[in-house]
Structure 1
Amino acid sequence: MASIKSVTREIFIVGLVLFFSTTACVHAQSKGEKWTDLFDGKTLKGWKTAGGKAPYTVENGVIVGTMVKGTPNSFLLTERDYGDFILELEVKLEGTETNSGVQTRSHINEKGQVYGRQVEIDPTARSWSGGIYDESRRLWLYPVDLNEKAKTAYKVEDYNHIRIEAIGDETKTWLNGVPVTYLIDTLDPKGFIALQVHGIPDYLAGKKVYFKNIRIQTQDLKPRSFPEDVYIVNLKPNHLSRAEKKAGYELLFNGKNADGWRSVRSSDFPDKGWEINNGQISVLKSDGAESTNGGDIVTKKQYKTFDFSFEFKLSPGANSGVKYFVTLQEQTSGSAIGLEYQILDDQLHPDAKEGLDGNRTLASLYDLITANKTTRGLKPIGSWNRGRIVVSADGQVTHYLNGFKVLSYIRGSKEYKDLVALSKYKNWERFGEAEEGHILLQDHGDHVSFRNIKIKELN
């Protein structure tokens, strides 16, 4: 016969289980969430394979993908397409050199390749899990360099919880509850969902990736709140989303006229040398020299600390630049003076070989600091590239190219002053250290277009 103490203990435990079970049910019902399992825990019913030959099996209620040498990226994809949805799942990768991802609203091209937006699962040192990559198409859309606070969220050799909201033109991701990416993109309003086993070098053969607890909502979607300080990549030209407006961003070019801009030579916009057409503001080709045609243009307003982003498109062999902290007080016969985010065709323009150690190449701080670029961070000449410059109150300045962080420095620091002393700016007193200044688009005599120019003033 059980003792009174043991019976009492059992009743207490049963009571706790009932309490927490009831609480969980009430919590789920109060949210009104209607989840559907995409994986039944036993079979791959509702899924099919595409791409490479890596096998997918079911083991102990988990989908297991095994990495195979000599095969390209392999995918297990849903047999049906999805439009708007909220998807949650758990993923674990073996090792720290492997890779995986979750395809959203994706498709298969005429070559049999899976393409579309992929939520990255990345255990490597760069820590880009939760970022968004466009598989077999546009490549990186949201590297996690844009949200460095999220880089510590991934758990190595453990299950990681991923939440993906794809609602309308917006995709948001969370990793283990940490907000990671916010992307606005008009391509692919619907498509399949897929689980990836990445192609590998031979020595990683046999490594596994595990997927479980895969569930989806497609009705009565209630998006989760997202922090205002996480940068939004908005691929809609000259557009501010409601979230961007709430966060304090404003357009510096509305896609229609030159409101907010003027010539460096007068209070008016240049009457030649610049063109506004098709939602773009373009400096026209002349003689390839600095400021000899329409001349540089600057914002009418001056800025102190800011998050400034823009898209630019180079013609072959072109040279231009975006300058900041431009005071217009310096006397110069060429372009106005200021810190410059270099815009250049590195392959065809000779300036790429000038300066020191490449400090006049694309996205560099011109003649001072070389951009640390990779080829994967570059879009071809004639395509739109995305630049970003962030200036914080402590003097730190960061350049980004297509979401990749390419350099950072502190204005006015000893290291900065030492670089200026070796540069073409050595004779300008306190170069680049003004408290505030205009933002400038450069006329260097080559055809270069800009759009999606926006700014947020920082405290």
Structure 2
Amino acid sequence: MRAVAFFLFISLISHPSAFAQKWVNLFNGKDLSGWHQLNGKAKYEVVKGEIVGTTVFKEPNSFMVTDKDYGDFILELEFKLDAAMNSGIQFRSESKSDYRDGRVHGYQMEIDPSARAWTGGIYDEARRDWLYTLEYNAGAKTAYKQGDWNKARIECIGPVMRVWINGIPTANLVDGLTPKGFIALQVHAIDKPEAAGQTIRWRNIRILTEGIKASPPDDIFVVNLQPNSLSDQEKKNNWSLLWDGQTTRGWRGAYKDQFPSKGWNIKDGTLVVQKSQGAESENGGDIVTEAEYGAFDLQFEFRLTEGANSGLKYFVTESEENKGSAIGLEYQVLDDEKHPDAKMGVVGNRTLGSLYDLIPSLKIKRGQHAIGEWNSGRIIVYPDNRVEHWLNGYKVVEYQRGSPTYSALVARSKYAKWENFGMAKKGHILLQDHGDEVAFRSIKIKSLE
């Protein structure tokens, strides 16, 4: 026995990780030691080894907050809703007197039993709104089980934040805005007196802060808010940067052999079309990728100035010999409030996110960021010619190239004079010079062929 004990001791001291992998309970099952309440006055109590949160009418969002802050960690806990109420788990969150009088803000793992089923998505409480909706990962909408105990896992290592619900990966966010903060259990505000008394329960809350090892990459979509970068999971899932964030490599002027000598500027990781006279391609002109693309998933970020107009075009062939901007299917980039083009066309088919002059985008107020802020665009072209436009996590346009509806829309548009408009098997991707200042960054692509 002494020999066995000595062998085990030597094994442990030879492998320090055996000590490091130590989970710590954040809830002792008896009382709320190590926690304190912020903002609203919803009721929190310990009942039979569970923390029970109860809604109170006319109280704002309430938070039961850890006394300690955490940076890199893996958090696991179980939760159960006794009613169809909204809630969430804050992580890397803060409360500061100089920010909205101490309002709790930061990352939140959403608990959402509504029909949209976004449980496991990531919301930026009291700050930037939705960062990772489950529209990005629709297959995970069934992970949450209403009326049952659900297990959540939140993994934060460096800028990478990942969420699992009942073992199913639901969200993957890369963002460096808040690297450290508290963990909190939310009881959401209610707007009807009859909703008072609804409860949410939490139990088995534990955290790992030492000897952390990232879970293996999976294949779900990654929202990467670090400019011009690719995470390990994006690389594993075959994403590549279409613009490197520093040079003009891979791009040239439309109808030209070289990148324009004027009209475009690269500064601080942004690719900026400079303001001129507000007309198409009269300064630097459009720029296009040197390579051509067929079926693909394309992401890009853009920042508008007041009254600006631009666009991202795809399936550009440069064969039409157009005198202005090169011809292609266009994801409209526009200040809808201040640019007159938004009032032209038909039923708003020249507004932000629309398939320009063909299909208007779905208008979702919280899905459109203010002028001067970064917006996230996405275009998916499937091998069967289905196409989707996305704006800040919301799908705003869908159609199918070559369908009867598509052909009818083209026939009544400005593109009717070009035979087989938008039907090329492959084409260049284009950023438009419309004479207004617009910045682009984080342009990345994944082939779907």
Is the shorter-chain TM-score for this pair beyond 0.5, marking a shared fold? Answer: yes
Alignment of 1:30-429 (within 5 A): 33-96=21-84, 98-110=85-97, 111-202=101-192, 203-228=194-219, 230-429=220-419
Q: Which amino acid aligns with 2:373?
A: S
Shifted more, 264-273 versus 437-446: the winner is 264-273
Alignment of 1:426-445 (within 5 A): 426-445=416-435
Contact 2:255 2:318 in 1 (8 A): no
Which secondary structure does the structure 2 equivalent of 1:347 belong to? coil
Cα distance in 2 between the residues matched to 1:68 and 1:374: 30
Contact 1:179 1:226 in 2 (8 A): no
The C-alpha deviation readout for 1:209-260, integer Å capped at 9, x for no partner, is: 11111111111112222313x1111111111222222221111211211110
Which secondary structure does the structure 2 equivalent of 1:145 belong to? coil
Assess, with a 3 A threshold, how the Cα gap between structure 1 residues 318 and 37 changes in structure 2: closer, same or farther.
same
Which secondary structure does the structure 2 equivalent of 1:163 belong to? strand
The C-alpha deviation readout for 1:288-321, integer Å capped at 9, x for no partner, is: 1111111110000000111111110100010000
Counterpart position of 1:12: none
Which secondary structure does the structure 2 equivalent of 1:352 belong to? helix
Q: Which amino acid aligns with 1:94?
A: D
Which secondary structure does the structure 1 equivalent of 2:314 belong to? strand
Q: Which amino acid aligns with 1:109?
A: K
Counterpart position of 2:8: none
Indicate the percent of aligned positions where both proteins have the same amino acid. Answer: 56
The C-alpha deviation readout for 1:375-416, integer Å capped at 9, x for no partner, is: 211211001111111111121211111122222222212222
Assess, with a 3 A threshold, how the Cα gap between structure 1 residues 358 and 205 changes in structure 2: closer, same or farther.
farther
Deviation at residue 170 of structure 1 after TM alignment: 0.6
Contact 1:258 1:269 in 2 (8 A): yes
Cα distance in 1 between the residues matched to 2:162 and 2:303: 27
Contact 1:88 1:214 in 2 (8 A): yes
Contact 1:146 1:405 in 2 (8 A): no
Q: Which amino acid aligns with 1:287?
A: Q
The C-alpha deviation readout for 1:30-59, integer Å capped at 9, x for no partner, is: 998422111112211111000111111112
| Residues 1:454 and 2:441 aligned together | no
Cα distance in 1 between the residues matched to 2:27 and 2:140: 28
Q: Which amino acid aligns with 1:250?
A: S
Deviation at residue 70 of structure 1 after TM alignment: 1.2
Deviation at residue 421 of structure 1 after TM alignment: 2.4
**Please, which runs of 5 or more residues in structure 1 have no aligned partner?**
1-28
Shifted more, 237-246 versus 54-63: the winner is 237-246
Cα distance in 2 between the residues matched to 1:196 and 1:439: 44
Contact 1:317 1:349 in 2 (8 A): yes
Which secondary structure does the structure 2 equivalent of 1:298 belong to? strand
Contact 2:217 2:233 in 1 (8 A): no
Cα distance in 2 between the residues matched to 1:318 and 1:71: 42
Deviation at residue 112 of structure 1 after TM alignment: 1.4
Cα distance in 1 between the residues matched to 2:120 and 2:178: 19
- Number of residue pairs matched? 429
Which secondary structure does the structure 1 equivalent of 2:173 belong to? strand
Deviation at residue 265 of structure 1 after TM alignment: 2.5
Cα distance in 2 between the residues matched to 1:270 and 1:359: 30
Cα distance in 2 between the residues matched to 1:59 and 1:41: 9
Cα distance in 1 between the residues matched to 2:221 and 2:88: 22
Cα distance in 1 between the residues matched to 2:67 and 2:390: 38
Q: Which amino acid aligns with 1:101?
A: G
Cα distance in 2 between the residues matched to 1:324 and 1:249: 18
Contact 1:105 1:117 in 2 (8 A): yes
Which secondary structure does the structure 2 equivalent of 1:456 belong to? strand
Q: Given the two structures, how large is their TM-score scaled by the length of structure 2?
A: 0.92
Cα distance in 2 between the residues matched to 1:420 and 1:62: 60
Cα distance in 1 between the residues matched to 2:197 and 2:407: 52
Cα distance in 1 between the residues matched to 2:191 and 2:346: 36
The C-alpha deviation readout for 1:429-449, integer Å capped at 9, x for no partner, is: 121111000000001110000
Contact 1:359 1:371 in 2 (8 A): yes
Contact 2:20 2:210 in 1 (8 A): no
Cα distance in 1 between the residues matched to 2:198 and 2:138: 28
Contact 2:217 2:236 in 1 (8 A): no
The C-alpha deviation readout for 1:315-335, integer Å capped at 9, x for no partner, is: 001000001111111121221
Q: Which amino acid aligns with 2:150?
A: N
